């Protein structure tokens, strides 16, 4: 049973989508042209020719990865996913693949989400760090202890066993990092991000996204989507909306999502989007699963 998975922020690279644009079907070229029009700037040129710094800007990164992922999915003949999931931003790509959102509406939401997240980052200076080699429970306990000191720090991304990303204020990350190393973490690596994604500090962005989602038409999905906030399959439109809004301030439960998809019959995970990050994570979560990329 095939599960299609879609990557999130961090998978971008200079030149992404160029080969697809030049050699793919006409429908793909049309998507890029639509994206330029909808966004009001030449995202195609930035993706193909832009610098790493330009591609790292949240208002560019998120729509670029979304566009690349959806375009790749459209090249698949007889596309019929049994289930889909996306990592953070990738959940929007998954919703388009499942027929819940149109490409146009999905891109608008992604753009609004990116802008709202950028504003939240400017309002509350914050960051993230990857914790390697420590169990989830210990990481969550230490984050709770640091929160008790008046700082914000939470477990934000459960990526795979032994790899969790924490998110919070600069001081919260520093204090948690010291405690995590003392508890046995192999490494605590600061991430080059502009803010504390998937933490309470994203509350202003969550409110903005909720308004945008309320004004966007959602359709019945063609297959279950395993959503980040609870790792459970969703098919009800209101549930999908509620989970999508909650995602901004809640952790990404990727490990649990993959485990549940395997339990429900997924044997092959096909990544649609730039890079191979999710394929690597899936293999660390389930050694029996087959992985592939488009």
State the catalytic residues: 88, 198
Q: Are 226 and 261 in contact (CB under 8 A)?
A: yes
**Do the strands 83-86 and 225-226 form a parallel or antiparallel pair, or are they unpaired?**
parallel
- What does the alpha-carbon distance between residue 49 and residue 79 come to, in Å, rounded to a whole number? 30
Q: Are 43 and 123 in contact (CB under 8 A)?
A: no
Q: Are 52 and 104 in contact (CB under 8 A)?
A: no
Nearest partner of 191 among 16, 56, 7, 15, judged by Cα: 56
């Amino acid at each position: 049973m095939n599960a299609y998975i879609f990557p999130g922020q961090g998978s971008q690279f200079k030149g992404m989508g160029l080969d697809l644009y030049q050699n793919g079907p006409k429908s793909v070229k049309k998507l890029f042209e639509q994206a330029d029009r909808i966004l009001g700037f030449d995202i195609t040129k930035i993706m193909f020719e832009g610098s790493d710094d330009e591609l790292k800007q949240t208002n560019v990164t998120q729509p670029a990865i979304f566009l690349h992922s959806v375009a790749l999915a459209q090249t698949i003949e007889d596309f019929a996913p049994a289930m889909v999931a996306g990592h953070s931003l990738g959940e929007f790509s998954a919703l388009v693949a499942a027929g819940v959102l149109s490409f146009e509406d999905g891109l608008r939401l992604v753009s609004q989400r990116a802008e709202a997240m950028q504003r939240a980052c400017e309002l509350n200076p914050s960051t993230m760090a990857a914790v390697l080699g420590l169990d989830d429970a210990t990481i969550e306990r230490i984050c709770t202890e640091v929160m008790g000191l008046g700082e914000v720090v939470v477990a934000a991304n459960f990526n795979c066993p032994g790899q969790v990303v924490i998110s919070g204020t600069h001081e919260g990350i520093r204090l948690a990092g010291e405690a995590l190393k003392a508890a046995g973490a192999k490494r605590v690596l600061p991430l080059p991000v502009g803010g504390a994604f998937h933490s309470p500090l994203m509350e202003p962005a969550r409110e903005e996204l909720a308004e945008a989602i309320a004004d966007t038409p959602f359709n019945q999905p063609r297959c279950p989507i395993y959503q980040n906030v609870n790792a459970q399959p969703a098919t009800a439109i209101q549930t999908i909306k509620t989970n999508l809004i909650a995602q901004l301030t809640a952790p990404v439960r990727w490990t649990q999502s993959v485990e549940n998809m395997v339990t429900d019959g997924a044997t092959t995970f096909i990544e649609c989007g730039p890079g191979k990050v999710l394929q690597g994570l899936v293999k660390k979560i389930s050694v029996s699963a087959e992985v592939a990329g488009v």
